[in-house]
Amino acid sequence: MISFGRSLRRRFLLERGTDFLNHGSFGATPRAVLASAQRWRLRMEANPDRFLRHELPGALRAAAGRLARFVHAEERDVVFVENATSGMNAVLRSLELRPGDEILATSHVYNAVRQTILEVCRRTGAKFVEAKILLPVSDGNSLVKVVKEKFSRRTKLLVLDHIASPTGLIFPVKRIAALARKRGAKVLIDGAHAPGQIPLDIPSLGVDWYAGNCHKWLYAPKGCGFLWSRRGAQAGIHPPVISHGYGKGFAAEFDWTGTRDFSAWLSVPDALDFYASLGAARIKSYCHQLAMQKAREMSLAWQAPCDGPPELHGSLIAIRLPERLQRRDPQRLIKEWMARRRIVVPVMPYGGALWARISAQVYNDPRDYDRLLAIVSGSISGNSR
């Protein structure tokens, strides 16, 4: 059996000497999957016309089919997009909203998605309604409650994170989506962090649209996201770029939005093979336990809370920084730790406080977190490494 931790790092390109605690933001792609993408590029360049005109359409649908099976969906309901931001844009900017309609999201909404919602509201006269999530969160019921309280008769769309960016909190999507449906609101899920981090059966969630990433927790090369749509909710949803497939159906519209490098999308089957070779259950258990154990140690050492209990997390969790660091500029802190300490970890401002968000991935080892723990505790001062 392949052992996880330091020895697995050789399968990735991560530089030596850096504690990489931020798989969450952009992912890290294994060498084997990058090699697969390169093979697709070489195949394209051998005869661009043959590849792009004749071979690509079938290969793309085959890759979409593999991904669809992974999320328990059907191939024709899954299309590739550049990233989760593109998928969220496609839906948000396709909807026909009117003045007074409400889009409901939580205060955890990813900033790029927030900006998209604000632009849609500006253009249509719809209103952005925000459900405030206070940290630390005690349980899933409290997440359901804060969203429930913000529904109104005018709520037309609920935009919900599956796993939220500032904290890694897993939202009870199925329960909240049922509430939205009862009130006649459509549901768009931002699943940027979910595929590969938690088991996913998208059609069973009872939502209308689900945008996700393969380049974060599924090991695909960057520029690889997807959009799933309920069959009855596909009409009228267009990609951010309109091209030849306009009006010819969901897959036709998204599969070709102009000439591009399709290799990230086409290497998804190899990314899924890499994932399967490590074992979905083993990955989930190793990463969850590692992140939770280290978060608990940091929380105790820093005398500061985690954002919520372990059962609301996968491989991603945030710990409040101690008072001593609360007045620091988060961007400078990130830069300083990266440049001087060679620790990569995001610092997120949320609810008037600063939080360090740690990720755990199969290449991480318990020792990777110890210098961060010590530096923040104040027990290491000068440069190290």
> Which residues contact ligand PLP (rule: CB under 6 A)?
25, 83-85, 110, 112-113, 161, 165, 190, 192-193, 213, 225
Query: Rounded to the nearest whole angstrom, what is the least distance from the CB of residue 51 to ligand PLP in the complex?
Result: 26
**231 and 79 Cβ atoms separated by less than 8 Å:** no
Nearer to ligand PLP (CB atom), residue 34 or residue 44? 34
**334 and 345 Cβ atoms separated by less than 8 Å:** yes
Nearer to ligand PLP (CB atom), residue 225 or residue 240? 225
Backbone angles phi, psi at 372, to 5 degrees: -60, -45
Query: Rounded to the nearest whole angstrom, what is the least distance from the CB of residue 326 to ligand PLP in the complex?
Result: 23
Rounded distance between C-alpha atoms, residue 260 and residue 161, angstroms:
29
302 alpha-carbon distance from chain centroid: 28
**354 and 28 Cβ atoms separated by less than 8 Å:** no
Rounded distance between C-alpha atoms, residue 352 and residue 56, angstroms:
49
Query: Rounded to the nearest whole angstrom, what is the least distance from the CB of residue 220 to ligand PLP in the complex?
Result: 11
Query: Rounded to the nearest whole angstrom, what is the least distance from the CB of residue 24 to ligand PLP in the complex?
Result: 6
Query: Rounded to the nearest whole angstrom, what is the least distance from the CB of residue 127 to ligand PLP in the complex?
Result: 22
Query: Rounded to the nearest whole angstrom, what is the least distance from the CB of residue 247 to ligand PLP in the complex?
Result: 26
Distances (CA, A) of 320 to 25, 154, 248, 380, 381: 18, 36, 49, 19, 20
Rounded distance between C-alpha atoms, residue 319 and residue 327, angstroms:
16
Nearer to ligand PLP (CB atom), residue 113 or residue 376? 113
Nearer to ligand PLP (CB atom), residue 85 or residue 263? 85
Nearer to ligand PLP (CB atom), residue 56 or residue 218? 218
Question: In this structure, how many other beta carbons lie within 10 angstroms of the beta carbon of residue 303?
Answer: 10
Nearer to ligand PLP (CB atom), residue 136 or residue 225? 225
DSSP codes, 239-256: -SS--TTTTS-HHHHHH-
Match 């209990």 to its residue by tokens: 309
Nearer to ligand PLP (CB atom), residue 192 or residue 290? 192
Nearer to ligand PLP (CB atom), residue 44 or residue 198? 198
Query: Rounded to the nearest whole angstrom, what is the least distance from the CB of residue 111 to ligand PLP in the complex?
Result: 9
Contacts of 337 (CB under 8 A, 6+ apart): 343, 344, 345, 372, 375
Note every long-range contact of 259-262, with CB atoms under 8 Å and residues 24 or more positions apart, other chains counting.
259/52, 261/41, 261/44, 261/223, 262/40, 262/44, 262/56, 262/60
Query: Rounded to the nearest whole angstrom, what is the least distance from the CB of residue 381 to ligand PLP in the complex?
Result: 31
